[in-house]
Amino acid sequence: MDYESLKTPADDVVRDGASFEAYRLPGDLIDSHHPIIVAYARRVAGDGSDREKALRLYYAVRDELRYDPYNTPMKREAYRASTTVAAGHGYCVNKAGVMAAVCRAAGIPARLGYADVRNHMTTQRLSELMGSDVFYYHGYTDVWLDGRWVKATPAFNRELTDKFGLKPLDWDAVGDSIYHPFDLSGRRHMEYLAYRGVFADIPFDEIRGAFRHYYPRMTKAQEEMALGGDFGAEGAAEATDRATPK
């Protein structure tokens, strides 16, 4: 598979041929009908407009589910939204899946979008595992609000951004919530390189194949699942080290 050929010229290219109705319905991994997802959406979304519900859901998914790039096995079941909620942690791909699932459970159409981003501030350990500072297939959620798609990126929980000295990814459900190009100190943070299109469900087989191609060492470990680690603690330690006079 030539994964470079799967990049798209724009961020709204529908790669799976899904109709709009698919963005309302459960999928295999976006299992918005699962009791765990239904209960989560009912607890968080509350009453009011779709925008008000989406905002509550966004901040809950962002901050209640810890960002963890190490401990999601490279197995289909681990990417299911209900599994991620039950685990209490995930990374951008499966946290975006949770956001899509709880939105659909609350009656708000949602889909998944993917982009390649260069992370100028990842930890040394993760960079070594990946063999790259490019995060291929970074996941975000497109939410249908007021007749248009709005991007939401509930990846980094607030505790994590505080540890790394990053701007929190806030959202007003009007403009897009995407990674910041600079951190609080003005250093380069995230750089968007390319888009991979939008999907009704997480394209697990494609992502697994791409990760095997781009990150062979890390993906092998994820398939055998004995990684472990605390990304937030690593970031805090490295931030302290950067701030210590040499």
Give the CATH number for residue 201.
Answer: 3.10.620.30
Q: So what's the pLDDT on residue 225?
A: 64
Q: Tokens 């190490």 label which residue?
A: 70
Whether 242 is covered by a domain: the verdict is no
Whether 246 is covered by a domain: the verdict is no
Q: Based on C-alpha coordinates, what's the Rg of the chain?
A: 17
- What span, in angstroms and rounded, lies between the C-alpha atoms of 150 and 161? 22
Helix/strand/coil (H/E/C) assignment for every residue in 14-70: ECCCCCHHHHCCCCCCCCCCCHHHHHHHHHHHCCCCHHHHHHHHHHHHHHHCEECCC
Domain ranges, residue 196 = 7-236
**β-bridge mates for residue 135, sequence order:** 117
Whether 245 is covered by a domain: the verdict is no
Whether 101 is covered by a domain: the verdict is yes
Whether 1 is covered by a domain: the verdict is no
106-115, 127-136, 190-199, 219-228: least confidently modelled range:
219-228
- What span, in angstroms and rounded, lies between the C-alpha atoms of 91 and 96? 8
Instruction: Report the domain count for the chain.
Output: 1
Is residue 85 over pLDDT 90? yes
Q: How many angstroms separate the first and last alpha carbons of the chain?
A: 47
Is residue 109 over pLDDT 90? yes
For a pLDDT cut of 90, what percent of the chain falls above it?
70
Q: So what's the pLDDT on residue 242?
A: 45
Whether 29 is covered by a domain: the verdict is yes
Structure tokens at 195: 């888009």
Whether 243 is covered by a domain: the verdict is no
Global pTM exceeds 0.85: yes
Whether 204 is covered by a domain: the verdict is yes
The letter for the amino acid at 134 is V
The letter for the amino acid at 99 is M
